[in-house]
Structure 1
Amino acid sequence: MTEHENFRPISAEVLSSDWGTLTKYRYELRRRNGAWQQQTREAYDRGNGATCLLHNPDSGCILLTRQFRLPVFLNGGHTSLVETPAGLLDGENAEVRMRAELIEETGYHIDALTHLFDIYMSPGSVTEYLAFFTGTYRAHDRKTEGGGSYAEGEDIEVLEVPLTDAAKMIENGYIRDAKTIILIQHLMIAELQRTKGEC
């Protein structure tokens, strides 16, 4: 039996279609005991995205951004959020789109990115998954000031932070963005494994 054999759609009603699409679904789901149960859920679809953590192995620093995020302000009163550069794919290849987003947000042109994994960030209500990347940068890779797209209302500050400081920023709650924490901790594990290998 496939997963699709456990799901029977009934109806789909679009509640809002602006920047993304909010749809109310009615369906039947087969429970593990074999019984069918009717459920109603809402799902928000705004497409898939990508995010990237750039690391300078010479200085031990990483590149982060800081900008206003309305949902974060509404649920906590924070006027800015520190995070890794990210953006929607808009139908493009994830790596190509990520390189363009890095230029737009940070001003750094990076040729080679490493794809790590794809993760659903809020699977209870949002269809989006993020493609996670890492890459390395040097000072000469900076081609513009970055700052984001004015037309899209972005006013992005670029931060160059030592990896050790970024770890402390997670502990003290200064960094509280999930994708950013995942990428920082992934890099910390990789650095720990690398240094252990050198002993």
Structure 2
Amino acid sequence: MNAINITSTEILSDSWYTLKKISFEITANDGTKSTQEREAYDRGNGATILLYNRSNKTVVLTRQFRMPTFINGNETGYLIESCAGLLDKDNAEDCIKKETEEETGFRIDKVQKVFEAYMSPGSVTEIVYFFTAEYTNEMKVHEGGGLIEENEHIEVLELPFGKAIDMITTGEIKDGKTIMLLQHALINKLMG
């Protein structure tokens, strides 16, 4: 492994989240050293969940506007996604239970952690914790939609599992975390 020595860190932006420019010296295995610079966007860590109903063979997803996709060619700016949120000061399990209720209206007690992943390690520090949980209609405590004070306008979607899988192929679902969770459900036969 190469030895890394951070020589300086400069904050380029601290508005929505923090963008830093990091200068570092890297020593290769043969002993040669080079100086490099990278920018890293720190938005904190997150959690995401796939809610599934085994007997109905359905999943609950959300649809919301995402500005970065809009400026990168997503005509409407809306993405279909698995429920997710930033950890803030919560642990991943507490965070995803809270986000699930806020965004989807389902109150869940039991979640299963399936893995964790860096989603864009070349530029973003975030690690995302992935969960699944079974849901029933009895767990619905309100309509969901997110928090008004956080300017969230989230549409809750309950879709047949097979249709959700097909939506990956058609390009209707393009969100990486959602694709990973749907494929996890398919590979591990969560629908039976």
- Pick the TM interval, shorter chain: over 0.9
Q: How does 1:1-199 map to 2 (within 5 A)?
A: 6-79=3-76, 80-191=78-189
Count of equivalent residues = 191
Distance 2:112 2:74 in 1: 35
Unaligned runs of 5+ in 1: none
Unaligned runs of 5+ in 2: none
Pairwise CA RMSD of aligned residues?
A: 1.4
Aligned-pair identity in percent equals: 49
SS, match of residue 188 in structure 2: helix
Distance 1:34 1:106 in 2: 53
Distance 1:78 1:119 in 2: 28
Note the C-alpha offset of 1:154.
Answer: 1.0
SS, match of residue 164 in structure 1: helix
Structure 1 range deviating more: 169-178 or 183-192: 183-192
Which structure features the higher share of helix residues?
1
Note the C-alpha offset of 1:9.
Answer: 1.1
Distance 2:15 2:47 in 1: 21
TM-score (norm 2): 0.96
Structure 1 range deviating more: 105-114 or 144-153: 144-153
Distance 1:45 1:68 in 2: 21
Deviations 1:23-68 (A, max 9, x none): 0010011223321111000000011000000000110000000010
TM-score (norm 1): 0.93
Note the C-alpha offset of 1:78.
Answer: 3.2
